[in-house]
């Protein structure tokens, strides 16, 4: 496998991983009881969690190296924001702590990933 093929495989893995992360956040959000406190958290969590993959797709189609770097930086910001909203979910719904912890770990790893 040459370097070009290796890079394509790496990109595909991140594209797939960010999409799965967004899906997992949606499924997790469905488990959060809906009330006046959690509704805004759910909305923000879904927006941030699904934005990671959307922005990765944008970066993958960047028009320049600078555009790519900018869009990847947005992915990282969105993964950090997702982590923030997951932590707020745990405050509002402590019984979801263990599952939230798994998503927090993935959000942290996505933030550290080099594209």
Q: Measured between alpha carbons, how far is 22 from 93 in angstroms, rounded to an integer?
A: 20
Encoded tokens for 32: 């959060």
Percentage of residues in the chain with pLDDT exceeding 70? 87
**Which CATH number do you get for residue 103?**
1.20.1440.60
* pLDDT higher than threshold 80 for residue 11: no
| Number of domains the chain is built from | 1
**Residue 11 CB coordination number (10 Å):** 14
Please give the residue range of the domain that contains residue 74: 3-112
* pLDDT higher than threshold 70 for residue 96: yes
CA 113 to chain centre: 12
- With vertex at residue 76, the alpha carbon angle to CA 85 and CA 86, rounded to the nearest 5 degrees, is 15
pLDDT at 108: 95
């Amino acid at each position: 496998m040459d370097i070009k093929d290796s890079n394509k495989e790496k990109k595909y893995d991140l594209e797939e991983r960010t999409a799965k992360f967004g899906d997992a956040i949606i499924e997790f959000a469905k488990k959060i009881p809906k009330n006046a406190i959690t509704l805004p958290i759910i909305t923000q969590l879904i927006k941030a969690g699904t934005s990671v993959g959307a922005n990765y797709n944008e970066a993958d189609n960047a028009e320049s190296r600078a555009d790519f770097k900018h869009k990847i930086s947005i992915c990282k910001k969105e993964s950090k924001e997702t982590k923030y909203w997951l932590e707020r979910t745990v405050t509002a719904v402590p019984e979801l702590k263990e599952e939230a912890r798994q998503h927090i770990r993935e959000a942290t790893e996505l933030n550290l990933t080099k594209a």
